[in-house]
Structure 1
Amino acid sequence: MANVYDAAYNLEKAIRESDDYKNLKQFYENVMNDETSKRLFNEFRETQFQLQQKQMMGEDLTDADVQKAQMQFSLIQQNEAISKLIQAEERMGMILSDLNRVMMKPLEDLYGMPGGFQ
């Protein structure tokens, strides 16, 4: 009988050894080693977190909130190091989403989830 925890740890190891993860890690380090990129990235992440908190608490986003986020996003898109990091994050997110679908397949098959895990 397969030990699912061993398989999970093997999957973690495979993720860490993947080129996609290594690229993500390198792009993250590049951003963190450049003071301007690091400051822009951290400010953007803080704004994202604040907006998510507001939404989770049922608060409406103000025009000022939206404008601030748009301005910061525009700035980070112009920063090549951050832009590469965001692309690598998106790629890693897609991979993890795909892996999640694979792991949820037994439950989907068992329960016949409406619409599946698409």
Structure 2
Amino acid sequence: MNPYDHAHNLARALRESSEYKGLLEAKKKLEADPKNKEMLLDFRRCQWEMEKAKAFQKEIDEVTKRRMAQLAELVSANPTVQDYLMAEFRFGQVMADIQKILSEAVSEWFKAAAEFVVDNNE
């Protein structure tokens, strides 16, 4: 069997996995109430702003910290949003595990690619 056939089989297995089906079901429940979806989006926006500030080594202001704490409290008290986040985490873990397996299988390709990177400082 060629690699493309295996990839299609893997795609099918992912679609049929309990983790993916659980994610779709949790998403459906989340979207049934627009307030839940908006809460999650607010949480993610605030999370993104904090991550961006850290990446650029900027200090996170107190207003943003308080807002994040409030949003985290709201999210943790909402079972529908929590269920979605857990389903997302579980499926993300499956994807990360598969990525690791694939990366390890072709590790020589990564090594070769790293050897031939152009360094502008040389």
* Root mean square deviation of aligned Cα: 2.0
What do the CA deviations read for 1:74-111 (whole angstroms, capped 9, x no partner)?
10111110011111111112111111111111234x48
SS state of the match for residue 90, structure 1? helix
Between the two proteins, the alignment pairs up a number of residues equal to 110
Task: Provide the C-alpha distance between the structure 2 equivalents of 1:52 and 1:91, rounded to a whole number of angstroms.
Answer: 22
In structure 1, the gaps of 5 or more residues are 114-118
Q: Structure 1 10/44 Cα, relative in aligned 2: closer, same or farther at 3 Å?
A: same
Q: Which residue of 2 aligns with 1:47?
A: 46
**Aligned residue type for 2:3:** V
Q: Which residue of 2 aligns with 1:116?
A: none
Task: Provide the C-alpha distance between the structure 1 equivalents of 2:47 and 2:5, rounded to a whole number of angstroms.
Answer: 35
Q: How far off is 1:41 after superposition?
A: 1.2
1:84 equivalent to 2:83? Answer yes
Q: Which residue of 2 aligns with 1:100?
A: 99
1:12 equivalent to 2:11? Answer yes
Task: Provide the C-alpha distance between the structure 1 equivalents of 2:104 and 2:89, rounded to a whole number of angstroms.
Answer: 23
Q: How far off is 1:3 after superposition?
A: 3.0
CA radius of gyration, larger in? 2
In structure 2, the gaps of 5 or more residues are 112-122
Q: How far off is 1:22 after superposition?
A: 0.7
**Aligned residue type for 2:71:** Q
Q: Which residue of 1 aligns with 2:29?
A: 30
What do the CA deviations read for 1:33-69 (whole angstroms, capped 9, x no partner)?
1122122111112212222333333323223222211
